Structure formats: C-alpha cells, structure tokens
Structure 1
C-alpha cells in the first residue's frame, strides 16, 4: 500500500464523505424523530392509502418498536441507496478517472507496484463506506437515546448494521470490479451503477405485487434480510456470508484484472 497516495486521496475526497454524512444526518435525524406515536399514526394512514408506493421502498411494515420503525423507514431503502451512490462516485474518482484521463501511468511511474496502488485505492473506498455506516449507527443511537431513552434495542440494531455494511461492501466490490476492468467510463462506471440501480428496481418491483414477488431472487439485495438478521436467524447470517464471499471474489478478480490489463497513457 502507498501511504503518500493514501494521504493524497483522503485529502482530495474527504469533502465528499462529509457531504454524504450530511445527507445521512438529514434523513436519519428526521426519520428517527418521527417515531412520535401521533406522527406514526399519520404515516401508517398514508401507508394504507398508498400501499404500493410504500411497499416499493420496503416500508410496508412499520412495526411497533423503535427498531422496527427504523428498519422499515431507513433500512428498507434510504440507508442502502445513499452509501451506494457514494460508492459510484468514489469508484470513478479513485479508479475510473485515472483511466479516463490516462493519468494512471503517472502513478505507475512511481516505485509502487500496480498491486500497491490499486489496494490503496480499495482501502480508501472501503474506509469511506465503513465510516459512513458507522456514522449512521452512532447518529441514530445518539438521537434515539436523546429523544426515546431506552427504547432502541441496541444489540439488535448493531447486528442489523453489520448486515447493512456487508451489503454495501458487496456493492462496492461490484463497482470496483468494473472500474478495474474497463477503460471507458461508460463501462467502468456505467456497468456498476447501471447493474446496481437495476437491482434496486427489481427489488422495488418484487415488493409491489405478489404476482412478481419471484423477482426478488434476481437481486443480491435480497441477501440483506433485516428481519432474519435481527431475529438471529442462521439463514440471515448465511445470506451475509454469501455477500462477503462474493465481495472477496470480486475484489480479487478486480485486483488481478488491473494488474494484467493494458492501461491508457
């Protein structure tokens, strides 16, 4: 790993991470505060009047506890899509941009190997994703304890976020893989972003109508089964294990592909 490159990338990209932390703060703070019973009644009434819309975003089961509420309104869509958008941007800035502009050759002209350079970029990517999830965890716990002291089941909440982090690392591995294998931005960024957004669309469609529920088997997002994870069901953890296995494979293929490919000058 290249420490100078690591420092440079952190300095160049920390503002993007802060921006996404701000977005997480906005959504997480507002939705956590909405656990007020009177407001919750209003939301449930809206959900009953527009069941397809709420189901599309995984918000059809509000539950009775604070944890159920957060899982339904944050972890069904919002806290999954926000880190994914961050991943797309960072894969472009850390890998694809260097390819597109031909400046990767400049980095390779240093005494660091291809492996050291691409691993450094990977560390920056994963560090940002993990920090974003950890920030969301800390923020929600603090907000919950301030507004609803003792209402949040923190142990289950932490396990839930381990599942979320596993899903985001898988999505990062997929986008990273395409960024490493292709030179043109329409492939290096477009494939990862397009396939990922396609997964979200498939999941939304599968939740709207029982007749097309089978579509959930065509998206890896289904492997993040929040209900089973919070119930400590072995199936939920087996799904998480599959996400980690796939992520490891994608990362290895991406690194090996980067090491062997011809790079634009």
Structure 2
C-alpha cells in the first residue's frame, strides 16, 4: 500500500520540474516536427555531412524519408533521452537520499507508516513523473504531426517507439532510485545515480561516432534502445526494450528492499 498524503506532497514537489521539462520538450518537439520538409531536411542533412561525427554522436543521421524516420533521427538521439533523464536524476535523489541527509526522514519513519509503504510511495512518485513526461511527449508528437502533416505519422509505430522510450527511462529511473536508497548521503546518491546514466550516454555518443570506439556500444545500456528497430518492430529491438523495462523494475525493487533494511541512524 502507498501513503496518499506523502504521494500528493511529493507530486506537488515534482510539478515545477515537470512543467519546466514539459515546456522545453514542447519547444523542441514542435520545432523539429515542423522542420520535416524536403528543403529543410536537405539543410539538416547538409549539417550532418559537414559534421558527421558530431551529429552522429547525438544520434542524428541523414536521409530520413518518412516523418517517423525524421523524428527518430532528430528527437530520439538526444532531446527525448536527456530531459526525462535529468528529471529522474533530480527527483530520484530528492525522494530518499535528501530526506536521510537532512534528517527529515525521522518524521516519516516516526509516523504510523511502514517503511515499505514509504518506499513504495516514493517509487511511485518517480514512476508517475517518468510516465507523465513520456506520455506528454507522445501526445505532443501526435498533435504536432496531425497539425503540420495530417495522415503522415503512423500512430502505432509512434506508440511502439515511445513504449521503448519509456522502458529506457524506467531503467534510468531505477538506477537513480536505487542509488538514492542505497547511498548514505546525497553526495553518493548523485554521484552514482547521475554518474552512471551520464557515463553510459557519453559512451553511447562515442560509439555512435564509429571508428575504433564503435565497440564501446557493448558497454552501455543505451544500445538496447533502437528507435529505427522499434519503428520496424524488429524482434531484437523489442527484446532490447523489454530488457530495459525489466531491468528498471528490478532496480526499483532493489532500491525499495534496501530502504526497508537501511540503517537510518535515528
């Protein structure tokens, strides 16, 4: 069971970040989708040709011939990865580790609420925020696609793609939540919860550049997120997304279990 009072309080604390990141996503998604035009696409492709390694590092590739392919190239290599990831990092640390460090966890565990209830509630807060951001992005893409290019955006393909995106952010959120529950203070929580996803993304950027560092892709979980493969419903891409989702749920469970056994020194 979850604590309704605690959930409402923490969701109120999430609103500011959700509004900020939602506004940023609105700006980027609407602009990128509106740029799906043969002439503008050619301009973007010219940038890719001029700076191939830099553009490849953030997942941007030339030659997209469909709207969903264009979105995969220019939204799913950076924009829709970074901003939900930042939300998970910031909120994940604040949900447990920050309470422990400033000793406000005393009031929570002193209340007639079991530890597992607190852990489940804080876990649901981060999960809810992640789902809201990915869900909002999906609705925004559908609306912008219908507004600018009626009938060109395949809804089923987009839902499959964003289902994989949600699985990726479940894993990132799980890392942040587990770090927050396991770490003795925010220094270690941020160091691990933020350090691991950011390091994995940097490794993915290096692998995208190709050459001698291409094999670095085998050392980052971002490789399991394959936008083009998800759009094509390739079995490997779907399996990769499933692994990300299951890994995320396992990490959330690990974090909750660790919190229930944590010595809070109170």
TM-score range, shorter chain: over 0.9
Segment of structure 1 superposing worse, 181-190 or 164-173: 181-190
Counterpart-to-counterpart distance in 1, 2:106 and 2:33: 47
* Structure-2 residue corresponding to 1:89: 90
User: Is residue 258 from structure 1 mapped to residue 259 from structure 2 by the alignment?
Assistant: yes
* Structure-1 residue corresponding to 2:223: 222
Contact 2:93 2:176 in 1 (8 A): no
Give 1:258 shift. 0.5
* Structure-2 residue corresponding to 1:59: 60
Contact 2:203 2:219 in 1 (8 A): yes
* Structure-2 residue corresponding to 1:117: 118
Counterpart-to-counterpart distance in 2, 1:67 and 1:12: 34
Contact 2:14 2:129 in 1 (8 A): no
TM-score by length of 1: 0.97
Q: Secondary structure at the match of 1:189?
A: helix
* Structure-2 residue corresponding to 1:44: 45
Give 1:62 shift. 4.2
Contact 1:183 1:264 in 2 (8 A): no
Contact 2:7 2:122 in 1 (8 A): yes
Give 1:220 shift. 0.4
TM-score by length of 2: 0.97
1:177-201 deviations in Å (ceiling 9; x for gaps):
0100012212112111011100010
Contact 2:98 2:185 in 1 (8 A): no
Segment of structure 1 superposing worse, 133-142 or 61-70: 61-70
Contact 1:56 1:205 in 2 (8 A): yes
* Structure-2 residue corresponding to 1:70: 71
User: Is residue 194 from structure 1 mapped to residue 195 from structure 2 by the alignment?
Assistant: yes
Give the length in aligned residue pairs. Answer: 265
Distance change (3 Å), C-alpha of 1:254 and 1:223: same
Give 1:56 shift. 0.4
Contact 1:164 1:224 in 2 (8 A): yes
Counterpart-to-counterpart distance in 2, 1:77 and 1:62: 18
Counterpart-to-counterpart distance in 2, 1:12 and 1:219: 31
* Structure-2 residue corresponding to 1:136: 137
* Structure-1 residue corresponding to 2:147: 146
Contact 2:101 2:185 in 1 (8 A): yes
Segment of structure 1 superposing worse, 123-132 or 206-215: 206-215
Contact 1:175 1:192 in 2 (8 A): yes
* Structure-2 residue corresponding to 1:180: 181
Counterpart-to-counterpart distance in 1, 2:132 and 2:241: 19
Cα RMSD between the aligned structures?
1.1
Counterpart-to-counterpart distance in 2, 1:24 and 1:199: 22
Contact 2:93 2:193 in 1 (8 A): no
Contact 2:48 2:62 in 1 (8 A): no
1:73-102 deviations in Å (ceiling 9; x for gaps):
001121011100000110122112101101
Give 1:171 shift. 0.5
